[in-house]
Amino acid sequence: MLKRIYIWIALCSMLMLAACGTEQTSSQEVSSSEGTTQATTKVITNPNGEEVTIPLNPQRIVDLSGSTEELLIVGKTPVATTSADYGQQDQITPPLKDKLDANTVVLGWLGSKFSIEAVTASNPDLIILGKDFNTDQYETLSLIAPTIVLPYSYYDWRERLTFLADTFGEETKKDEFLAKYDAKSAEWKQKLESTVNGESFAVIETYPNNLVIYSNKGAAEMLYGEWGLKRTEGIPEPEGWGGKQISIEALISVNPDQLVLMENSENKMEDSKVWNNMNAVKDGKIYKISSVDNYNYSYTALGRMELMDRLGNLILEGQK
C-alpha cells in the first residue's frame, strides 16, 4: 500500500492535468427509456488475480498491447496505440494507416518502452496492456485509469480478438470477421493444394548471426495449419512463440522443396554452401518478405488478411 501511495504522489500533477477531460460515472447501471436498467461497467479479473472495474463503452482507450486491429474489429477505436511499424516505430503499422484518425497517438512498438507522460496526456478511461511486454508498469498505469492485461500473447491474434469481443459484448462483430477470414483462407487452401503437388515447405527468418525456423504461429500457422501445406522433415520442435533459433549449419538436416523467407538484409545467405544446397534454393522456389513485414502482418487480424493474399500469390507464381 505504501508503495502505491508513493507512486500516486509522483503522478499526481500529471493526473490533475488529465482530470479536466471527460466525466466518469461510478454507477454500475443507468436507466433506459423503457424504464429498465443497463450495465455501464464490467468487472474483469486480470491474470494477477486483481479485479478491475472497466467501462463497457470506453471512449478513450490507450492500447499498449498491440491489439488495435482487433479493437477496431469489435468497434473500439483507441486514442493512443502501440501498434506501430516494426521498422519505423514512430509510425502506425501499415494495416492501420487508413483506418485510424490522424490524431491517434503512436506510443512506439509494443515491445518498446512507452512514455507514462504520453499515456497520461491521452486522458484514458481504459488502458489495455499485453502479457508479454511492460508488465512492470501495471501498477503505475492502474493509477491513471482502469487497466486490463490481455491473458494472451502478441502471436495469439484469434484469442485476443475473442477476449476483446467477450469483454465488450461484441461477439457478433468478431464472428462476422472470423467467418470472412476463414472463408478466404479456405479459398487459398483449395488453390494451393492443386498446384504445389505435395512438396514440402519451411518458413525461415534470417538474423545477422543465426536463423529462426518456424513451426507454428504467424505465417507458419497459416501455411501448415490453415492451408495444410506439408512441413519439411527435420524442422526442430518450436518454443512457445512458435519457432526455434538455429545456426545456418543446422540447416543441413532441413531440405525444403519450397521456402518462405523473411529476410534480414544483414544476413547474406548466398555465402553459405549449406543454404545453396537446399532444394528450394536450387529450384528458385523462395518466396520473400522482409523481417519487418513479418512482424507488421503475421500476428494481427487485419495484417493476416493482407499477408494471406501476398504469400498465396507468391507461392502460386512460384509454381509456374
**What DSSP string describes the chain?**
-HHHHHHHHHHHHHHHHHTTSSPP---SEEE-TTS-EEE-EEEEE-TTS-EEEEESS-SSEEEESS-HHHHHHTT---SEE--B-SSSTTSB-GGGTTTS-TTPEE---TTS---HHHHHHT--SEEEE-SSS-GGGHHHHHHHS-EEE-SS-TT-HHHHHHHHHHHHT-HHHHHHHHHHHHHHHHHHHHHHHTTSTT-EEEEEEE-SS-EEEESSSHHHIIIIIIS-PEEPTTPPPP-TTSEEEE-GGGGGG---SEEEEEE-TT--GGG-HHHHTSHHHHTT-EEEEEHHHHHHHTTSHHHHHHHHHHHHHHHHHHT-
Instruction: Let me know: does 67 contact 164? Beta carbons within 8 Å.
Output: yes
Neighbours of 198 (CB within 10 A): 8
pLDDT by 10s per residue, the chain, length 320? 434 433 333 444 443 433 333 333 334 454 444 555 678 999 999 999 999 999 999 999 999 999 999 999 999 999 999 999 999 999 999 999 999 988 999 999 999 999 999 999 999 999 999 999 999 999 999 999 999 999 999 999 999 999 999 999 999 999 999 999 999 999 999 999 989 999 999 999 988 778 999 999 999 999 999 999 999 999 999 999 999 999 888 888 999 999 999 987 666 677 788 888 999 999 999 999 999 999 999 999 999 999 999 999 999 999 87
The pLDDT value recorded for residue 158 is: 97
* Angstrom distance (rounded) from CA 297 to CA 295: 6
* Per-residue model confidence (pLDDT) at position 18: 39
Per-residue model confidence (pLDDT) at position 320: 78
CA dihedral 65, 68, 72, 74 (to 10 degrees): -10
CB 133 within 8 A of CB 221: no
Identify the pLDDT of residue 273: 87
- Joined grid coordinates for residue 320: 509456374
User: In the prediction, which pLDDT does 268 show?
Assistant: 67
